[in-house]
């Protein structure tokens, strides 16, 4: 019986497959979405891509490549929300490729967007920098922006952006030291590089500015995404008498859970984390990329495709400390923190 079934199958299947292929080819004659694929002529498009400064180009095509999900409550979401907030005002056509954590694949995606006539390609992650460095000269009519980093590689069509996350870290570290009774803080990161390290170092510097002897030893778990390990790191801090916690990485949600169950204050960064622990989040350092993006887009519209580095600071409003209204912060602490924010903003307080 099986034999007959098999033979029939082996006859029918190719036929069905052929039919399917034919059907899908037929389907392709209906207009496919413009952004669906690099066209066959893509390689040649490098030089013939529509000039972004052409007066007819009323819509600006912007592509975003990001390492995590668009709704990660952190790094990627901060950029997506900023882009969307500018969409109608600047008449943007936005394409997003999220979860591009494989660097080589991301490089390919970046190249595809560049060759498809996108005016601005935003590579939102410092791991994409070396890709931009190599690709930008091949696509002189496309503007690239990348971050967080402070280098445009001296290329005329590359913008760079960075966040002085140590500033918010400093403020929140000082706040944590003021709130802490045990004078032990729990600080958790993924691996000791990049934005996470900048924030963590700022946090400990801020804490030590309030209380020089405070214990602020960062633990790097060795993984960006191991939720349980981050939770365990938070637990070991709590065991070691830590009574205020912070951390930076997408897996930090595990540690926020520990803050919630131990009822300890938590300080967030990159995006608002209030929804993760409504009672425990004291404040979050918010990245607001919109002003930076506005400047970049204005430059592009004006015909300048790169060459500038933008930095989010407390002073220029790119970084904001957002307080959780549900966390009752003592008035004297709040006052001290406000003074600190003001001082860092106007430059009277210099960070180490």
Partner 1 sequence: MNQFFTLDVLTVTVASGIALATPFLLAALGETIGQRSGVINLGVDGIMLLAAFATYYIALQTGNLLLAILAGAGTGTIMGIITALVSVTLKAEQGISGIGIYLFGLGFSALLFQKLVGTPLPIATLPPVGIPLLDEIPVVGGMFFKQSMLVYLAFLLVPVVAFVLNRTTYGLKIKAVGENPAAADSLGVSVARIRWSTVILGCTFAGLAGASLLLYGGIFQVNLTQSEGFIAVALVYFGAWRPVGVMGGSLLYGLVGVVILTWKSLGIIPLSASDLAATAPAVITVLALLFIARRFRQPAALGRPYEREG
Partner 2 sequence: MLSWFAVPSALFIALLLGAVMMLVLGANPVTGYVALVTGAFGGSYALSSTAIQAVPLLLVGVGICIAFRANVFNIGGEGQIAMGGLAGAATALALPDLPSPVLIPLVLLAGAGGGAIWGAIPGVFKAKYNVNEILSTIMLNLVAVQVMNYLLAGPMVDQSPDSVGGLIPETKLLPPNSLLPILVKGTQLHLGVPIAVIVAICVYVLLWRTSFGFQIRSVGLSRSASAYAGMPVKRTITAAMTLSGAMCGLAGAILVFGSISHRMVTDGSLTGFTGSAGFNGIVVALFGGLNPLWTIVSAFFFGGLIVGGSSLQVATGVPSDLVTALSGIVVVLVVSLEYLRRRARAQSIALAGPRAASPPRLAHHDPPLTVKGGGGQ
Give contact residues for partner 1 (rule: CB under 8 A).
69, 71-73, 77, 99, 186, 191-192, 217-223, 225-233, 235-241, 250-251, 253-254, 256-257, 260-261, 275-277
Told to check if 115 binds partner 2 by CB under 8 A, we report yes
Whichever of 23 and 330 has its CB closer to partner 2, that residue is 23
For partner 2, which is the closer residue by CB, 102 or 217? 102
* Binder of residue 94, out of partner 2, partner 1, none (CB less than 5 to 8 A by kind): none
Angle, alpha carbons 150-152-156 (nearest 5°):
155
Does the footprint of partner 2 cover residue 309 (CB under 8 A)? no
127 within 8 A of 275, measured Cβ to Cβ: no
CB of 34 or CB of 217, closer to partner 2:
34
Nearest Cα residue to 313 out of 335, 294, 284, 285: 285
Asked if residues 252 and 203 have their Cβ atoms less than 8 Å apart, the reply is: no
Residue whose token pair is 């002073």: 315
Q: Are 139 and 116 in contact (CB under 8 A)?
A: no
Cβ proximity of 281 and 255 under 8 Å: no
Subset of 123-162 contacting partner 2 (CB under 8 A): 125-127, 129-131, 133-135, 148-151, 153-154
Task: Enumerate residues 91-110 that contact partner 2 by CB under 8 A.
Answer: 95, 97, 99, 101-105, 107-109
What φ, ψ does residue 52 adopt, rounded to 5°?
A: -70, -20
Enumerate residues 161-190 that contact partner 2 by CB under 8 A. 190
Q: Is 240 helix (H, G, I), strand (E, B) or coil?
A: coil
Q: How far is the CB of 122 from partner 2 (least distance, A)?
A: 15
- Minimum Å gap between C-beta 43 and partner 2 is 3
R_g of the chain computed on alpha carbons: 24
Beta carbon nearer to partner 2, 202 or 265: 202
Work out the end-to-end distance of the chain between its first and last CA atoms, rounded to an integer number of angstroms: 80
Nearest distance, CB of residue 237 and partner 1, angstroms: 5
Assess 41 for contact with partner 2 (CB under 8 A): yes
Between residues 98 and 114, which has the closer beta carbon with respect to partner 1? 98
Size of the site for partner 2 (CB under 8 A): 69
To the nearest 10°, the Cα dihedral for 109, 113, 114, 115? 100
Asked whether the beta carbons of 282 and 324 are under 8 A apart, the reply is: yes
Between 62 and 177, name the residue whose CB sits nearer to partner 2.
62
């Amino acid at each position: 019986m099986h034999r007959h079934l098999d033979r029939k199958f082996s006859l029918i299947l190719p036929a069905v497959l052929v039919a399917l292929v034919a059907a899908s080819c037929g389907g392709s004659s209906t207009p496919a979405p413009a952004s669906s694929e690099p066209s066959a002529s893509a390689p040649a498009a490098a030089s013939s891509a529509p000039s972004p400064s052409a007066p007819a180009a009323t819509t600006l095509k912007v592509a975003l490549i990001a390492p995590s999900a668009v709704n990660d409550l952190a790094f990627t979401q901060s950029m997506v929300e900023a882009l969307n907030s500018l969409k109608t005002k600047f008449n943007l056509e936005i394409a997003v490729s999220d979860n591009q954590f494989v660097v080589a694949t991301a490089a390919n995606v970046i190249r595809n967007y560049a060759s498809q006539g996108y005016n601005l390609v935003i590579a939102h992650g410092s791991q994409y920098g070396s890709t931009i460095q190599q690709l930008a000269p091949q696509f002189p009519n496309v503007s690239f922006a990348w971050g967080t980093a402070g280098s445009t590689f001296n290329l005329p069509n590359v913008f760079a952006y960075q966040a002085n996350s140590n500033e918010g870290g400093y403020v929140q570290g000082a706040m944590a030291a003021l709130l802490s009774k045990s004078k032990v803080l729990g600080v958790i990161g993924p691996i000791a590089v990049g934005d996470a390290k900048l924030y963590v170092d700022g946090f400990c510097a801020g804490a030590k500015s309030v209380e020089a002897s405070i214990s602020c030893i960062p633990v790097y778990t060795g993984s960006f995404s191991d939720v349980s390990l981050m939770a365990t790191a938070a637990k070991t801090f709590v065991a070691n008498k830590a009574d205020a916690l912070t951390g930076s990485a997408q897996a930090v949600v595990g540690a926020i859970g520990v803050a919630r169950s131990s009822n300890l204050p938590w300080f967030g960064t990159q995006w608002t984390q209030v929804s993760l622990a409504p009672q425990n989040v004291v404040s979050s350092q918010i990245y607001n990329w919109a002003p930076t993006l506005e400047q970049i887009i204005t430059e592009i519209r004006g015909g300048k495709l790169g060459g500038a580095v933008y930095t989010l600071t407390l002073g220029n409003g790119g970084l904001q400390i957002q307080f959780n209204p549900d966390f009752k912060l003592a008035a004297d602490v709040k006052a001290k923190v406000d003074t600190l924010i003001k001082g860092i903003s106007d430059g009277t307080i210099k960070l180490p």
